[in-house]
Structures are given as C-alpha cells and as structure tokens.
Amino acid sequence: MSQLPGIEGAKRLAAYTAVDKHILPHHKIIGIGSGSTVPYVVERITQQGTELNKGRIFIPTGFQSKELIIEAGLNLGDVDQFLTIDVTIDGADEVDAQLNCIKGGGACHLREKVLAEAAKTFIIVADYRKNGKYLGENFAHGVPIEVVPFAYAKVLQNLRSVLGSPNASLRMAKAKAGPVVTDNANFVIDAPFSRDLIKDPSSLLTKIKLLTGVVEVGLFCNIAQAAYFGNQDGSVTIKRVEGTKVIEESIAAS
Ligand SMILES: O=C(CO)[C@H](O)[C@H](O)COP(=O)(O)O
C-alpha cells in the first residue's frame, strides 16, 4: 500500500484493516456508513473484485454513502428491502473504553443507527483521535440530536433547563443561511454534557430520547462489536467485545 500521510493515512489504515477482517466472501448485505473515513471502506471493498461484489447489496446511511456506492459501481439497496445486514461499517466522532460512541458529526445518525442495529456485526473505523476512555473527552461539540423542526425550540429549552446542557445549540449550515437539514428533513441540536452527566451514556440516551420532538440521539450504546483506529506510526489499535469485556490490542505497523 502506498503511504498516505497523517490523519488520512490513519483513516485508510483503519478502514482497510476492518474490511479485510470483517467483509468476507460470504457476506452479501453490507451497510455503508457516513463520514470521511468511509470512502476508504468502499475503496477496499471495491478492491475485493467485481466477481465477489456483483452478488452483494450495499445499503447506505445517507446521501454521501449512496453516492459512494453508485460511483463505485456497486449494487444499491435499502434497509426496508433487507431487514438484516451481514456487516455495517461506519465512522464515529468518539469511542469510549466500552465501545459506546458519539456519532452524528455528519448529521446522519438516525439512518446510521438503523443500519447499525440491523447488522449482525457493527464495526467502527476511525483515526486515533477518536479513541478515548470516556465520551466528551476529546469531542467537545456535544451529542448530536436529530429533532423535528416544529419542536426544536422546545427540545432546546428542555435540554438546557431540564437535562443540564446549558450550551445546547441548533446546528447551523456553513454555506446556507439557516440550520443544517438532515437527509430526513429534520434539524440537529448539538448538546454538550458535563462528564458527570455523560458518564452513563445509556441512561443519558434514554433521557434525551424521551423528550418529545427528538427523532434520534447520536449516542450508540452497546451496539458496536469492534472499533479499528489507525495510528500515526502505521499501527492499528483494535477494541473488540469479548463476552462481557472489551479487549484492546494493537497490530504493529507493517
Ligand atoms: O457519525 C457520522 C456522521 O453522522 C460520522 O461517521 C462521524 O462524524 C465520523 O466521521 P469521520 O470519519 O469524517 O471522522
């Protein structure tokens, strides 16, 4: 493999290693996540060859991955046709020691969670900056929360005054006046929580999800089976669920 410097090299390393390990010849229905690491997932899958891929269906988590699948000449499907997915591979904004994740930096977390839960195996790929001990350690933007537009102001008020996220804010678009609009025509709120409030992410997830108007929360708890992190030195750190524990190991630089 040719050298790709810095963060891009780390992303590609994670993606290639995860595909080599988890996308096997007998896997026919494959979920493709969103973000800047996922193009390397599709690139590696494409390298497995036309013969293998012509018998497979690829399910996207949003507009970006749909385009990746089409551009790569792979077969496109949707989760309402294929309720069980063999493997879904996706990026993450942060992963803790228990493999809980913050996702939704790209505002795709509703579809991402559906595809993650539909998968027999859900795998995360990321660069080393995403590998943390607890959520919120490095990713300070907060928990992405998809909300129906009509209810956004009320959800914001409840996040700020009831759930303890005073700096929760509506995510604004960069090259458009107004808010980010998701692939599902909803808005996104980013809600930062103190370490004390996010230390039990499953419980926080339940509280946020119960707010009327919330569609989905970018906290993925107890879903991922493994996470692959590309490191600067060319090694890959793998966290994987084994029984009730999460084991961490590193594969040396090649
Ligand atoms: O959750 C996501 C999009 O909603 C992405 O997977 C997450 O933001 C990570 O992206 P990247 O690989 O660019 O760091």
Residue located nearest, by CA, to atom 10 of ligand 1: 35
Asked if the model's pLDDT at residue 2 lies above 80, the reply is no
Report CA(93)–ligand 1 centroid distance (Å): 6
Give domain status of residue 63, yes or no: yes
Tokens of 253: 């630089």
Q: Does one domain contain both 83 and 203?
A: no
Residues classed as catalytic: 112
Report CA(34)–ligand 1 centroid distance (Å): 6
Average pLDDT over residues 81-94: 98
Can you give the residue range of the structural domain that contains 64? Answer: 6-133+221-251
Q: What confidence score (pLDDT) does residue 1 get?
A: 64
Mean pLDDT taken over the chain: 96
Q: Does one domain contain both 118 and 197?
A: no
Q: Does one domain contain both 177 and 203?
A: yes
Q: How many domains does the chain have?
A: 2
Give the tens place of pLDDT for each residue, 93-124.
999 999 999 999 999 999 999 999 999 999 99
Give the tens place of pLDDT for each residue, 186-195.
999 999 999 9
Q: Is the CB of 138 under 6 A from ligand 1?
A: no
Average pLDDT over residues 221-246: 96
Is residue 69 within 8 A of residue 58, CB to CB? The reply is: yes
Average pLDDT over residues 51-60: 98
Give the tens place of pLDDT for each residue, 131-162.
999 999 999 999 999 999 999 999 999 999 99
Looking at the CA of residue 90, tell me the nearest atom of ligand 1: 6
Report CA(247)–ligand 1 centroid distance (Å): 23
Radius of gyration of the chain (CA): 18
Q: Does one domain contain both 155 and 228?
A: no
Report the CATH number at residue 87: 3.40.50.1360
Q: Is the dihedral of CA 76, 82, 88, 94 positive or negative?
A: positive
Report the CATH number at residue 163: 3.30.70.260
Residue located nearest, by CA, to atom 6 of ligand 1: 91
Q: What confidence score (pLDDT) does residue 252 get?
A: 83
Looking at the CA of residue 105, tell me the nearest atom of ligand 1: 8
Q: Does one domain contain both 187 and 118?
A: no
Residue located nearest, by CA, to atom 8 of ligand 1: 105
